[in-house]
């Protein structure tokens, strides 16, 4: 009987040795066939291993193509045209541009981003992608999200702690939608209010950005980047973006934005570099390079190609160990020759390139540069290591997909209360004859002006779209609705152009406003935005203030030329771009909170007085830096 059984039943050791041979063969095959793959456990997949070891292990397994893929950031619309590319090219990052407000709910955003993430995980090594957006004053790409005052208003509040709380809420309302990375804060120091990005700055005094940067970075990143309430922060734009000289821009019709900063190195360091130092010390995960050029006396050099400033100063001297991202097509501006642009940018120290359209060309160009030996593999390894370090820190290898469990908190009353508090704290009272303010709340009030009932104007640029729009897409309360809410006992008549009869109103409130704009399209003189009171608003001031006691509230991203209109004005308030909570503008008007804000920029008499900064020879502003009456 026994003799008819198969050999391995009679002698089980045959089976074991056959198995052992098979296993050994498999191990050898894996070892030989998969590049960089050793028979040991995959350290990079081990959540218990230190991040540095995981990074080293992973980089050791990557091909040059996979590395260059990690350094590539594409805009969603561009990859949508080639659905296989995220997987085939191993693209490391995607972004939504300022106008890519694609979905109405956190769940719909998350579903889209999770879809791209699946494609990224479908690669040989399964490296997750990192998704970025400009949630510069709230996640405005999500209509129901709360919108905070733009930075200039937060600077007026002189309260970095409050700005940090606002940032933490923005982080929560951003990560819940599947987005991991925020292109904020701008730690720019606006030295000429004609700059279209003045409102993205905390003010002309570098001390403000120096103080705000750590608090806001901490607000975005939290104590733990893996948390569903944290996003990777970006200090931008490195360096000198707010110091460009009028007329030096060569981009389209821009005048200041993307232009040239001409300073001594000592000035550049004390004014524009200082906030990056505190942002780096606070652990900011990424830094975005500025479109502008710096001229330290040797001719202008595009910052995107400036090895001294990026590798020498930022990474070397300041010890920045996060990654450096270029700005939107910013690399292209270095040279007419694209290969030269790419080579110069990467060699200067840029780690990830916001291409964001022609990413296939970027990838093939960088690969050819490496092949030719003009970009070293060690530079590539450094770039990729920095990017992967932040991906591990974000916990993306363990939790690549969105966690929308906090979706119900988006735009909650609690979050809106903080935005209202920030709006109220940012109001600056510039004139208050006969203590007209605060109002009692039981008056008969006549309200006029283009900013009174315009959520879009009080949100400004970077709100639902790149340039923002008069017709807001975000949810919120206009200033008029805020007045009605805070003073239910007041009898309010509203007429935007002041054409309704003023009758026996006790007091007028004229809310003048700039229309929304962003970047160089908002440079004063470049287009429609000239820092002047519009004819309609000027007529409203005249009609109302010529008749009755009146308050003028200025809704703007920067000082405007108001002096010629002040003759009959009793009280004047700078409201900046207060965001979605118009009640915050009404609070101090009716004494619910004090007026406590102070000017974060000098207020010129005339637009032509710019650039105007405290300490300038012959400094003669309408209101100086730091001015603000208290109630």
Active site residues: 327, 519
| Residue 563: partners with Cβ closer than 8 Å, 6 or more residues away | 605, 606, 622
* Phi, psi of 571, rounded to the nearest 5 degrees: -135, 145
The region of 91-99, 102-110, 113-121, 310-318 touching ligand BGC under the rule CB under 6 A is 91-99
Give the helix/strand (H/E) hosting 7. helix 7-10
Query: CB neighbours (10 Å) of residue 374?
Result: 15
For the bound state, the minimum distance from the C-beta of residue 403 to ligand BGC, rounded and expressed in Å, comes to 25
Residue 236 in contact with ligand BGC, rule: CB under 6 A: yes
Which lies closer to ligand BGC via its Cβ, residue 256 or residue 498?
A: 256
Binding to ligand BGC, residues 255-274 (CB under 6 A): none
Query: Could you tell me the two tokens for 458?
Result: 């009080």
Length of the chain as a residue count: 631
Verify binding: residue 138, ligand BGC, rule CB under 6 A: no
What distance in Å separates the CA atoms of residue 462 and residue 150, rounded to the nearest whole number? 9
Q: Which of residues 452-491 bind ligand BGC (CB under 6 A)?
A: 466
The dihedral region occupied by 59, where left means phi > 0, alpha psi between -120 and 50, and beta the remainder, is alpha
Q: Of 257, 332, 199, 203, which Cα lies nearest the Cα of 527? A: 257
**Helix intervals (H) in 294-430:** 307, 338-348, 359-371, 377-393, 413-425
Smallest distance from the beta carbon of 323 to ligand BGC, in angstroms? 15
- Select 259 or 582, whichever has its Cβ closest to ligand BGC: 259
98 sits near ligand BGC (criterion: CB under 6 A): yes
User: 212 vs 466, which CB is nearer to ligand BGC?
Assistant: 466
Number of Cα atoms under 13 Å in the Cβ half of residue 477? 21
Give the torsion sign (CA, 188, 194, 195, 197): positive
Of positions 92, 97, 259, 322, contacts ligand BGC by CB under 6 A = 97
Measured from the CB atom, the residue of 98 and 464 that comes closer to ligand BGC is 98
Number of residues that bind ligand BGC (CB under 6 A): 9
Provide the angle, in degrees to the nearest 10, between the axes of the packed helices 359-371 and 338-348. Answer: 70
Give least dist CB 111 to ligand BGC, A.
22
- For residue 415 the two structure tokens come to 């979050």
Q: Give the range of 97-105, 119-127, 292-300, 474-482 binding ligand BGC by CB under 6 A.
A: 97-105
Of residues 559, 406, 573, the one with CA closest to residue 479: 573
Window contacting ligand BGC (CB under 6 A); options: 3-11, 57-65, 93-101, 568-576: 93-101
The residue (of 352 and 550) whose beta carbon lies closer to ligand BGC is 352
User: Given the complex with ligand BGC, which of 519 and 537 has the nearer CB atom?
Assistant: 519
CB of 254 to ligand BGC, least distance (A): 10
Q: What is the H or E stretch that residue 181 is in?
A: strand 181-182
105, 407 Cβ separation under 8 angstroms: yes
137 near ligand BGC, rule: CB under 6 A: no
For the CB of residue 287, give the shortest distance to ligand BGC in the complex, in Å.
12
Minimal distance, residue 391 CB to ligand BGC, in Å:
19
Q: Please choose, out of 92-100, 361-369, 594-602, 618-626, the segment that lies near ligand BGC by the rule CB under 6 A.
A: 92-100
- Report the distance separating Cα 259 and Cα 36, nearest Å: 45
Residues in contact with ligand BGC, shown as a per-residue x/- string from 304 to 343 under the rule CB under 6 A = -----------------------xx---------------
Complex with ligand BGC: residue 233 or 483, whichever CB lies closer: 233
Q: How far apart are CA 304 and CA 313, in angstroms?
A: 14
Which residues lie closer than 8 Å to 132 by C-beta, 6 or more apart?
73, 93, 94, 95, 96, 179, 180, 181, 182, 183, 232, 234
Match 């929304």 to its residue by tokens. 516
10 Å CB burial of residue 133 (0-12, 13-18, 19+) is buried
Please tell me the distance from the alpha carbon of residue 303 to that of residue 208, in angstroms, as a whole number. 23
**Interactions with ligand BGC, residue window 508-567 (CB under 6 A):** none
With CB under 6 A as the contact rule, which of the stretches 95-103, 307-315, 445-453, 595-603 interacts with ligand BGC?
95-103
| Cβ closest to ligand BGC, residue 254 vs residue 320 | 254
Complex with ligand BGC: residue 96 or 432, whichever CB lies closer: 96
Smallest distance, ligand BGC to C-beta of residue 352, A: 12
Closer to ligand BGC by CB, 220 or 595: give it.
Answer: 220
Return the closest-CA partner of residue 419 out of 181, 214, 168, 204: 168
Among 17, 29, 63, 99, binds ligand BGC (CB under 6 A): 99
- 199 binds ligand BGC, rule: CB under 6 A: no
Q: Which positions ≥6 away from 327 have C-beta within 8 Å? A: 236, 237, 288, 289, 290, 291, 304, 354
In a 10 Å sphere around its CB, with 0-12 CB exposed, 13-18 middle and 19+ buried, how is residue 380 labelled?
buried
- Residue 183 Cβ vs ligand BGC, minimum distance, rounded to whole Å: 4
DSSP string, 38-71: -SS--GGG-TTS-HHHHHHHHHHH--HHHHHHHT
Q: Considering the complex, what minimum distance in angstroms separates the CB of residue 304 from ligand BGC?
A: 12
Residue nearest to ligand BGC (CB): 97
Q: End-to-end CA distance of the chain: give it in Å, rounded.
A: 107
Question: Which residue do the tokens 């997987």 mark?
Answer: 87
Shortest approach of ligand BGC to residue 468 CB, angstroms? 12
User: Binding marks (x or -) toward ligand BGC, 165..184, rule CB under 6 A?
Assistant: ------------------x-
The binder of ligand BGC chosen from 66, 85, 119, 134 (CB under 6 A): 134
Among the listed ranges 10-18, 96-104, 533-541, 602-610, the one in contact with ligand BGC (CB under 6 A) is 96-104
Q: Which is nearer to ligand BGC, 359 or 397 (CB)?
A: 359
> Of residues 416-445, which lie at the interface with ligand BGC (CB under 6 A)?
none
Min dist. Cβ of residue 74 to ligand BGC (A): 12
- Residues lying near ligand BGC in the complex (CB under 6 A) are found at 97-99, 134, 183, 236, 327-328, 466
């Amino acid at each position: 009987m026994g003799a008819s059984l198969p050999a391995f039943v009679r002698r089980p050791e045959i089976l074991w040795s056959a198995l052992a041979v098979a296993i050994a063969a498999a191990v050898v095959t894996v070892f030989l066939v998969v590049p960089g793959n050793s028979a040991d456990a995959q350290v990079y997949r081990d959540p218990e291993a230190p991040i540095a070891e995981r990074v080293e292990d992973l980089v050791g397994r990557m091909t040059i193509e996979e590395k260059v893929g990690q350094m590539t950031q594409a805009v969603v619309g561009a990859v949508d045209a080639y659905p296989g590319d995220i997987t085939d090219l191993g693209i490391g990052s995607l972004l939504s541009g300022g106008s890519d407000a694609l979905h109405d709910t956190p769940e719909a955003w998350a579903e889209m981003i999770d879809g791209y993430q699946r494609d990224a995980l479908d690669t040989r090594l399964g490296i997750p992608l990192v998704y970025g957006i400009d949630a510069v004053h709230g996640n405005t790409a999500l209509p129901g999200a709360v919108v905070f005052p733009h930075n200039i208003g937060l600077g007026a509040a002189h309260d970095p702690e409050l700005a940090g709380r606002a940032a933490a809420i923005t982080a929560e309302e951003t990560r819940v939608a599947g987005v991991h990375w925020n292109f904020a804060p701008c730690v720019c120091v606006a030295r000429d209010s004609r700059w279209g990005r003045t409102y993205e700055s905390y003010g002309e005094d570098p001390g403000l950005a120096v103080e705000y940067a750590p608090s806001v970075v901490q607000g975005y990143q939290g104590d733990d980047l893996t948390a569903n309430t944290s996003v990777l922060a970006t200090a931008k734009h490195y360096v000198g973006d707010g110091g460009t000289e009028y007329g030096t821009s060569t981009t389209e019709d821009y005048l200041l934005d993307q232009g040239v900063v001409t300073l001594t190195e000592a000035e550049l360091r004390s004014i524009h570099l200082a906030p990056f130092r505190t942002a780096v010390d606070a652990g900011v995960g990424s830094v975005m390079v500025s479109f502008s050029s710096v001229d330290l006396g040797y001719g202008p050099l595009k910052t995107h190609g400036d090895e001294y400033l990026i590798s020498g100063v930022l990474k070397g001297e300041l010890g920045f160990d996060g990654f450096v991202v270029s700005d939107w097509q910013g690399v292209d501006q270095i040279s007419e020759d694209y290969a030269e642009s790419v080579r110069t940018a990467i060699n200067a120290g840029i780690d990830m390139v916001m291409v964001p359209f022609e990413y296939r060309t970027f990838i093939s160009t960088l690969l050819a540069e490496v092949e030719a030996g003009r970009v070293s593999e060690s530079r590539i390894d450094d770039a990729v290591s920095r990017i992967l370090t932040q991906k591990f820190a974000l916990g993306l290898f363990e939790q690549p997909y969105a966690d929308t469990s906090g979706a119900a908190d988006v735009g909650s009353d609690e979050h809106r209360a903080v935005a209202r508090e920030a709006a109220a704290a940012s109001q600056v009272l510039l004139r208050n004859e006969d203590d007209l303010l605060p109002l009692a709340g039981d008056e008969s009030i006549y309200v006029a002006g283009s900013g009174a009932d315009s959520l879009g104007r009080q949100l400004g640029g970077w709100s639902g779209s790149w340039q923002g729009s008069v017709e807001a897409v975000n949810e919120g309360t206009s200033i008029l609705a805020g007045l009605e809410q805070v003073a239910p006992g007041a009898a309010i008549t509203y007429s935007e152009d002041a054409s309704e009869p003023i009758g026996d109103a006790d007091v007028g409130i004229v809310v003048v406003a700039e229309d929304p704009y962003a970047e160089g399209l908002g440079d004063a003189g470049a287009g429609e935005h000239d820092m002047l009171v519009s004819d309609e608003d000027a007529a409203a001031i005249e009609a109302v203030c010529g008749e009755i006691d009146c308050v003028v509230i200025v809704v703007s991203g920067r000082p405007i030329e108001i002096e010629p209109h002040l003759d009959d004005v009793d009280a004047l308030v700078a409201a900046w771009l207060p965001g979605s909570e118009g009640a915050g503008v009404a609070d101090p008007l009716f004494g619910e909170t004090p007026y406590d804000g102070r000017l974060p920029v000098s207020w010129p008499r005339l637009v032509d007085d710019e650039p105007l900064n405290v300490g300038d020879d012959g400094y003669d502003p309408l209101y100086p830096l730091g001015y603000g009456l208290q109630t």
